[in-house]
Homo-oligomer: A and B are copies of this chain.
Amino acid sequence: MPTLDSSPLGLHRVLEPQGVLPQAATRLDPRPEIWLDEVRIDVETLNLDAASYRQLAEKHHGDGDAVRAEVLDIVAARGKMQNPVTGSGGMLVGTVAEVGPQSRLGLAVGDRVATLVSLSLTPLAVSDGLERWDGRSEQVPARGHAILFGRSIAAVLPDDLDPRLALMVMDVCGAPALVARVVRSCVKDQASQEGIDPSRRGLRVCVLGGAGKSGSLSLAAARDAGAVHLIGVVPTEAEAMTLRASGLADEVVVADARSPLGLSTAVRAVGGPADVTVVCVDVPGCEQPAILATADGGTVVFFSMATSFAAAALGAEGLAADVTMLVGNGYVPGHAAYALDLLRRIPAVRELFEARRG
């Protein structure tokens, strides 16, 4: 074992530049020997994130051999799979090969796991030249090893679910966990308020993008946490039919989440404004519409990576809107287990995910 002290954040694996966190590093040390608090994984599959794979495929005009060669070059040069253009990574599936005596991740040798921190900060070495991958999909069969730091997140793949299904759920598992927490807290606040207008009792939650992966799980989590009126907003009639059939929402409306007046009018027509609005739509410009669809004193949770901080902050101010706005943190303790539990308990959620898997 190396003599340098390890850092739970992985700073001891940063080679260049010195002093930054692994995500910001240009080169990590992927040596297979582990420090006392680390875990080594034998890699089985890399799942490149959609933005990264798209950039590589477009750059090489769909030439799979060239894409494979570039991924190999990146991993060799950086000691991690981080697309230099998009900055993003993905996740991986593998088997636990060694667990340091001071690791607190709760993993055991032989566990089949998915990493829930980005590949963009995970030390990685590939040993098979990615020979089983044709470079034509985001799923990369691979041999090699990866390292988890002392403070990291990995989830054991459940025995009772198809791994591909479990992965799809884990990919968005931060959303239902945070929604459940926010809804529970709002329900408690409402219960402690005196003299509330009886017609406004019961928490109303609106999910933008309610038929999607994070959206459907968010609706299920809101119900689970005690919300009484659920509104799902979707962009097309086809998605509306799917969501209506699922029963996950009490009301389903078709509206453009980028249209300030269109959205708030649609939401008001079915019992809104909402006490909690959850943004799961990955398009820019939903900040002010979401704020306008939310009641005074309510909360907006932004999960979309297309969210602009300034548009949200100045947007609320510009509307003189007294709303609490949360950055959707992808990590809540127990998030993967909770999301898998929702999938198991609620057949409608499982059906939506199975239909997506194709």
Please give the residue numbers on chain A whose beta carbons come within 8 Å of chain B beta carbons, in ascending order: 7, 9, 11, 19-24, 86-89, 116-118, 120-121, 151-153, 174, 258-262, 285, 288, 292, 302, 305, 307-333
Residues of the B chain whose Cβ atoms lie less than 8 Å from the Cβ of A292: 9
Shortest distance between the CB of A235 and any CB in chain B (Å): 15
A208 to chain B minimum Cβ distance, whole angstroms, is 16
Given A259-B19, A308-B309, A326-B326: A316 touches B288 (CB 8 Å cut-off): no
The 3 closest A-B pairs by CB, nearest first: A317-B330, A87-B310, A325-B327
Distance between A322 CB and nearest chain B CB, rounded to angstroms = 6
Given contacts A20-B258, A21-B318, A316-B330, 18 further A-B contacts (CB under 8 A): A19-B261, A21-B315, A21-B319, A23-B315, A117-B320, A118-B314, A120-B314, A153-B317, A302-B309, A302-B327, A309-B309, A313-B328, A313-B330, A316-B329, A316-B331, A317-B329, A324-B326, A324-B329
B318 touches A118 (CB 8 A): yes
Contacts of A328 in B (CB 8 A): 313
| Copies of this subunit | 2
Chain B residue nearest in CB terms to A22: B318
CA of A23 to CA of B260, assembled, Å: 11
A292 to B333 alpha-carbon distance, docked (Å): 16
- How far in angstroms is the closest Cβ of chain B from A186? 12
CB neighbours of A311 from chain B (8 A)? 23-24, 87
Q: A20-B260, A121-B318, A319-B151 are in contact. Are A327 and B313 (CB under 8 A)?
A: yes
Q: Check B326 against A327 for contact (C-beta < 8 Å).
A: yes
A314 to chain B, nearest CB (A): 5
Rounded to whole Å, the gap between the CB of A311 and the closest CB of chain B is 6
Whole-angstrom distance between the Cβ of A19 and the nearest chain B Cβ: 6
Given contacts A313-B305, A313-B330, contact A120 B318 (CB under 8 A): yes
Contacting pair A23 B259 (CB below 8 A):
no
Chain B minimum-CB-distance residue to A153: B320
Residues on the B chain within 8 Å of A88, using CB = 310, 314
Most buried by B among A120, A151, A302, A318: A318
Known A21-B315, A120-B314; contact A327-B305, beta-carbon cutoff 8 A = no
Q: How far is A333 from B316 in the complex, measured between Cα atoms in Å?
A: 12
A325–B329 touching, CB < 8 Å = yes
Cα distance, A135 to B329, chains bound together (Å): 39
Q: Is the CB of B331 within 8 A of A24?
A: no
- Inside 8 A of A305's CB, which chain B residues have their CB? 309-310, 313
